[in-house]
Amino acid sequence: MIVTLCTERICTLDDIRAFLGGSEAAEITPHDREVAYAFIERTLVRFRYHFGLSRAGKGLVRAYLAKVTGYSGAQLTYRAAMAVAPSPHRR
């Protein structure tokens, strides 16, 4: 079964806390890698991950992305670095 998760209403760190608290039993995996990459990049920009977010806030955003995408911490670190790296090979 494919279920669409609408995350546009998650706009604050408190929203992320509520989502993480209520989705413990859910297992979410993206069906397309490119869609997951785009989602990660949009989320990093929406929460200003690289510009002004506290260490605790970054941890919440990373936990949220790990939950929604199923990616590991190392994969998310790489994707976060790629989101701000000016490269012609960026995917």
pLDDT in tens, 1-12: 556 677 778 889
**pLDDT level of residue 66 (50, 70, 90 thresholds):** very high
Instruction: Report the candidate in 68, 62, 56 with the shortest Cα–Cα distance to residue 80.
Output: 62
Domain boundaries along the sequence of the chain? 34-84
Q: Within 10 A of 62 (CB to CB), how many other CB atoms are there?
A: 17
Residues 6+ apart with CB under 8 A from 39: 7, 30, 68, 69
Q: Which amino acid is at 19?
A: F
Q: Write out the H or E segment, with its range, that includes residue 76.
A: helix 73-84
Q: pLDDT of 22-50, one tens digit each?
A: 866 666 777 788 888 988 999 999 999 98
Res 83 pLDDT > 60? yes
Res 74 pLDDT > 70? yes
